[in-house]
Amino acid sequence: MEEEGVKLEEERYLAGEDREEVYNPANALCKVFPGRRNQINTLLTLMRKPSNYVVPFIFIHGLPSTGKSSLIKSLLSLLKVKHCFISVKECYCRHVLFESILHQLTGVTQSGYSRCDSLSSFVRQLKLILTRSVGDLDREANDTVYIVIDDSEELRKMDDTIIPALIRIQELTLSNVCVIFISCLEWKSFVFKTKTLLTIKTPFKLHFAQYSKDDVISILSNACACNLTTTKYSMPFLKRYASIMWDFISPISRDLKDLLYISNIFFPLYCKPVEQGHVSESASWKLCSHIEPHFKAHISNLILRDQSSEIYINQMWTHKQVSCHTSIEFPVSLKYLLIASYLGSYNPLISDRRFFSKVHVHVCTLTSEHHLLYVHVH
């Protein structure tokens, strides 16, 4: 239902009238991203109309799994503005970063675009792409183009000129373009790393705070509702399950990815007694006691993304017999420990001191009659 509402509002938005008069995307986005209304309204205020010049550089920061990247992707797609979204972790060198930006803006495959090795070549080709939009039928000539750099803290490993150049893209190309950095670090981490940034004005910074308990419960319940295919459950039932998952998992991990991953695994098992007619939806304490033993037995493995525990839970839900091999599967960390112990058993006992002690005592024979004892400190 939410997707249909978003599509309907998109059709109204694409009718051709003023963005501010026809459609406010905040209502649709707030349903998908609870607790992010302030950030959504701020971004919409900055972007305004497509043809207006925006701030040249926006710095978005916050802890991992706080919705930074997904919110920016959804917002730009909803507004139908031309943009590119680059993850620096996928760009092992600067020419891959430059070419990825150019390829996404032009829609040309990597094999069909010229190689871009230098910063000057990148600026020249980017300016050519941005000024070529006069005959572009997809958008107006002066619409804002957004270049989103995700995992931007990885840029500090590249040349010192990369970050200042990306920040000043609007000035270098003389075009209506905005660069958005998304990072898990604060802006001062970039300033201290690159001295040339001291001469650059402080960017517009937007912080994404960690989700509260109510926000996480809302996200988990919406995720469970989206995963339902046949049986439909009431929203209070889904929120009670999300609250139980929060109480179980939050002492171990508050990462939203872990919460979503584990809650999706246990949800079919949680609903199993209701589907069989043994208990009602309101008997949350019975449903909780039904999954609690399995949760305690496999939570450590699931946090480590051990597939054996996930297979075990799925087999219990689908009434399949669990094999002995699956039931005694060790977690990955324990397997590495066993391998290390096996390899270490081949080392002689006299080598333990040499391998594990910080101070090594070496005896060096100078002559057949004289010996020298010295201490070598690492």
The helix or strand, by DSSP H or E, that contains position 86, with its residue range, turns out to be strand 83-87
Q: How far is CA 337 from the centre of its chain?
A: 30
List, for residues 209-240, the tens digit of each pLDDT value. Answer: 999 999 999 999 888 888 776 667 888 899 99
Pair (84, 175) in one structural domain: yes
The pLDDT value given to residue 113: 53
Q: How far is CA 92 from the centre of its chain?
A: 18
Indicate whether 235 belongs to any domain.
Answer: yes
C-alpha 202/C-alpha 225 separation (Å) is 42
The proportion of the chain whose per-residue pLDDT surpasses 90, expressed as a percent, equals 22
The pLDDT value given to residue 190: 82
Strand pairing report for 371-377 and 359-365: antiparallel
The pLDDT value given to residue 294: 79
List, for residues 253-293, the tens digit of each pLDDT value. Answer: 888 888 888 888 888 888 888 888 888 888 888 888 888 88
Do the Cβ atoms of 53 and 174 come closer than 8 Å? no
Q: Which SS3 state, helix, strand or coil, does residue 83 take?
A: strand
Confidence of residue 242 (pLDDT cuts 50, 70, 90): very high
Pair (44, 76) in one structural domain: yes
Q: What is the DSSP letter of 155?
A: G
Residue 9 confidence (pLDDT) above 70: no
Indicate whether 355 belongs to any domain.
Answer: no
C-alpha 146/C-alpha 60 separation (Å) is 14
Confidence of residue 318 (pLDDT cuts 50, 70, 90): low
The pLDDT value given to residue 32: 85
Pair (65, 195) in one structural domain: yes
List, for residues 245-255, the tens digit of each pLDDT value. Answer: 999 888 888 88
Pair (150, 39) in one structural domain: yes
Confidence of residue 207 (pLDDT cuts 50, 70, 90): very high
Q: What is the DSSP letter of 359?
A: E
Strands (E), 203-351: 204-208
Maximum alpha-carbon separation in the chain: 99
Encode burial over 2-27: b for 16+ CB neighbours within 10 A, e otherwise: eeeebeebbeebeeeeebeeebebee
List, for residues 16-37, the tens digit of each pLDDT value. Answer: 444 444 456 778 888 889 889 9
Pick from 1-5, 113-117, 190-194, 347-351: least confident? 1-5
Indicate whether 322 belongs to any domain.
Answer: yes
List, for residues 54-104, the tens digit of each pLDDT value. Answer: 889 999 999 998 999 999 999 998 888 889 999 999 888 888 899 999 989
C-alpha 374/C-alpha 282 separation (Å) is 75
The pLDDT value given to residue 261: 86
Do the Cβ atoms of 169 and 144 come closer than 8 Å? no
Do the Cβ atoms of 79 and 24 come closer than 8 Å? no
Residues ≥6 apart with Cβ < 8 Å to 131 = 175
210: left (phi over 0), alpha (psi -120 to 50) or beta: beta
Pair (7, 106) in one structural domain: yes
Burial of 178 (0-12, 13-18, 19+ CB in 10 A): buried
Pair (37, 172) in one structural domain: yes
Taking CA atoms, 221 is separated from 135, 237, 256, in Å, by 46, 9, 13
| Domain final residue pick, 208, 229, 251 | 208
262 residue type, one letter: I
* The CA-based dihedral angle spanning residues 342, 348, 349, 351, taken in that order and rounded to the nearest 10 degrees: -110
Pair (241, 123) in one structural domain: no
Q: Which two tokens stand for residue 11?
A: 């059709």
The pLDDT value given to residue 110: 57
Pair (123, 218) in one structural domain: no
The pLDDT value given to residue 147: 95
Between 6 and 315, the more confident residue is: 315
Count of structural domains, the chain: 2
Confidence of residue 192 (pLDDT cuts 50, 70, 90): low
pTM attached to this predicted model? 0.71
Q: How many CB atoms lie within 10 A of CB 226?
A: 10
Residues ≥6 apart with Cβ < 8 Å to 132 = none
Pair (265, 157) in one structural domain: no
List, for residues 331-375, the tens digit of each pLDDT value. Answer: 777 888 888 888 888 888 777 777 666 555 444 444 444 444 444
Domain of 134, in residue numbers: 2-208
115 residue type, one letter: R
